[in-house]
Amino acid sequence: MQEVILYFNDNPIIYKSFLSLIILLIYIKLIRIINRLLFKTIKDNNLYYMTRKRLYYLHSVIIIVIFVILWSESRLDLTIYVGFISAGIAIALREIFTNLAALIIIVIQKTFEVGDRIMVNDRVGDVIDQKIFHFVIMEISTGKVVHIPNNYIFLHPISNANKGFGYIWGEIEVRLTVESEWEVAKERFEIILNKHVYHIAAEATDKVREASKKYRIHDQNLNPKVYMAVKDGVIILTMRYLMDPRQSKVIEDRIWSEILLYVKGNDSVHLK
C-alpha cells in the first residue's frame, strides 16, 4: 500500500487520471440512480423529459468543474469555483427556478385556484390540479388533460373567468337581410334574452359592486341588451348578456333555439 502511495506521489498525472476515472464512474452510477428515482416519481412524460434534460446539463457542469479543480495546478480562490458552480446551476435549472418563482406568485396573488376556468396560450379549461412545477387544466373543447409549466404566467396572458365578479359577457351575432323587419326582431330578441339571462344580471349586481372596490370597473349596466348595426348590406343584431362561464354553451344553445324557432315561424324576418 505504501508503495502505491509513493508511486502516485511520484506520478501525479497517473494519480489524477486514476482519480478522475473513479469520480466519473461514481458520478455515472449516481446519475443512473437519480434517473430511476425521477422515472418512478414523475408520471408525466413531458415533465420527466424536461427535468431529466435540465439535470443532465447540471451534471455536465458539475463534473466539468470537478475536473477543472482536480487538474488545475494553481490554487485559485475557492469563491471562483463556487461562482462557476452557481452559474452552471442557474443556467441548467433556469426553468425549474422560474417555475418555483411562478408558483409563489400564483399562491400569494391567487392568479388562479383549482376549480377556476382560465385561458392561457389560447387554451381554455378548468384548473384541476396545482403542482410544484406545473398546473393541470382540462380543456373545455376537447376534454384533454393538459400540463402547463407554472412559468407560463410570465410568458402568456392569463384570463380567469372566476376572478373579478365571477361572470363574463357573452355575445350572439344574428345577421338579417335588409328586407327583414328588424325592429320587430330586435324587440323579440330582447324578450328572449330577458327570459334566459335577466336573473343573472340581478344576481351579479352585488358582486360587481363589491368588485368595483378592488378593480376599476366603469360600466356597471348588467342588463342584457340587443345592439343594431348595418355592415356590407346586412343588418346585424348583437345580443350581449352576462352569464356564468360554466353555463356559456348551455345558455347559447337555449337562446339560439328560440331565435331559430322565431325566425322559422315569422315570414318578415330572414337570416342572412
Per-residue pLDDT of the chain (272 residues; tens, 9 = 90+): 666 666 666 667 777 788 888 888 888 888 888 888 877 777 777 677 777 777 776 777 777 777 777 766 555 555 666 666 666 666 767 777 888 888 889 888 888 888 888 888 888 888 888 888 888 999 887 888 988 888 888 888 888 887 766 788 889 999 999 888 999 999 999 999 988 888 887 777 777 766 666 666 665 678 889 999 998 889 999 999 888 877 888 899 999 999 999 998 888 888 88
Element (H, E) at 90: helix 78-92
Q: Quote the Cα angle for 154-156-159, to 5°.
A: 110
Would you tell me the crossing angle of helices 12-41 and 45-71 to the nearest 10 degrees? 170
CATH of 168-264, one of 3.30.70, 3.40.50, 2.60.40, 1.10.287: 3.30.70
Q: Where are the domains of the chain?
A: 2-92, 111-160, 168-264
Predicted confidence at residue 28, as pLDDT, reads 84
Alpha helices in 110-237 (DSSP H): 152-155, 182-211
Residue with cell 409549466: 149
CATH architecture entry for 111-160: Roll (2.30)
Number of residues written out for the chain: 272
Predicted confidence at residue 255, as pLDDT, reads 93
Query: Considering the entire predicted model, what is its pTM?
Result: 0.53
Strand locations in 106-196 (E): 117-120, 123-130, 134-139, 145-149, 158-160, 168-176
Which three cell numbers, joined as nine digits, stand for 210?
A: 363589491
Which three cell numbers, joined as nine digits, stand for 187?
A: 324587440
Predicted confidence at residue 213, as pLDDT, reads 63
From CA 168, how far away is CA 122, in angstroms rounded?
A: 17
